[in-house]
Amino acid sequence: MRGRFGEQASEDVSSRELASKALSSRDLFFEGSEKKIEISLHSGGSSLRELGQGFWSQISTRANADILSSISNEHCDAYVLSESSLFVWDDKFLMLTCGTSVLVDAALLFIEKLGVDRIAFVSYQRKSEYFSHLQGSSFSDDIKRLRAVLPGDAVRVGHLDAHHHYLYTSHSETAIETKNSVSELLMYHIQGPAAEYLRSAEQSISRIRDLLKLNELFPGFIFDDFLFKPFGYSINGLCGERYMTIHITPQESSSYVSLETDLDLTQSNGLLLSRLLNIFNPGCWDIIAFNSAPNTQGFPAHICIGSCTMTTSHGDKVSFTHFQQDQHEVLHPERL
């Protein structure tokens, strides 16, 4: 089994042995940065949820990810994967994969199985990686393959030597009536008590849930989470039509925490991002918002280095914003 660090924690002996090797959080590199695909179907066909876990397991395996556990409610089936998450609704699915997964392989298998005529819209996003040279494909490779099936627009936002984000959106003949509000918060170089706990040898799911103040920040949600060994934590949550997912790669050399949710962050959840920023205290962070404008009230002291707002051919309003803590960091040489 794969996982955020090559192995998942479980109660078998081999995993315990792995943990007992006392791996340092400084030594272990893992690519937390996700690729993300969302595929919507034309209305009128059978539900994607009816395809069952066997089907989704096959799709996940194609991206080199395994299904670890799942929760469901009346709207959605949410799977925690060895490499991030999968959410399946009746007429669309959303899959995030980290590590060296080739998510586009899974997307193409899905399109092949269902037939391209059923596909209404594809959105594919890729965040800049820590170690792009270890990836199985580049964004440019990926969109060449996607475009061969579904023509679409692709852009990069952000300088190549800094955080940057890639987005492909397929050309869509039908306008989408209700725009999804989705917010992504990507945090880098987490510091402080939460970061230290997440790098420590003995962790528990209940303590992590407390650290993240999950019940307070996501009231009414049902959760499904997984603690990897020696490090790493993934959680999915559902509440009515809303979803959330958080993935934590805590190790010092490449620490990264991502949140994605379709909660409306302009309303009662307006402080969600600032609450998470204050828990993880990242050196820098990015916000990617689709049809949403999260407010920055309560953010740690920062400068906003750069931002971009654009509208896709599909009509989605997308913004990318890159924040840096307003403080000087003493860097420590890392021996190689």
Residues lying near a second copy in the complex (CB under 8 A) are found at 128, 130-133, 135, 138-140, 143, 153-163, 166, 188-189, 253-254, 256, 283-284, 303-308, 310, 320, 324, 326, 328-336
Name the minimum Å distance from CB 79 to a second copy.
28
Count the neighbouring beta carbons within 10 Å of the beta carbon of residue 35.
28
Name the minimum Å distance from CB 137 to a second copy.
9
User: Residue 22: left (phi > 0), alpha (psi -120 to 50), or beta?
Assistant: left
Whether 106 contacts 60, CB under 8 Å: yes
**Which residue number, 21 or 332, has a Cβ lying nearer to a second copy?**
332
**Which residue number, 73 or 321, has a Cβ lying nearer to a second copy?**
321
**At a CB cut-off of 8 Å and minimum separation 6, what does 303 contact?**
323, 324, 326
Whether 327 contacts 189, CB under 8 Å: no
Name the minimum Å distance from CB 160 to a second copy.
4
Name the minimum Å distance from CB 157 to a second copy.
5
β-strand partners of 325: 302
**Which residue number, 44 or 333, has a Cβ lying nearer to a second copy?**
333
**Which residue number, 62 or 165, has a Cβ lying nearer to a second copy?**
165
Cα gap 93→87, rounded to integer Å: 6
**Which residue number, 168 or 221, has a Cβ lying nearer to a second copy?**
168
Name the minimum Å distance from CB 316 to a second copy.
13
β-strand partners of 320: 288, 308
**At a CB cut-off of 8 Å and minimum separation 6, what does 4 contact?**
30, 32, 82, 83, 98, 99, 228, 231, 232, 234, 247, 249
Name the minimum Å distance from CB 185 to a second copy.
15
Distances (CA, A) of 23 to 146, 272, 329: 39, 33, 26
**Which residue number, 5 or 243, has a Cβ lying nearer to a second copy?**
5
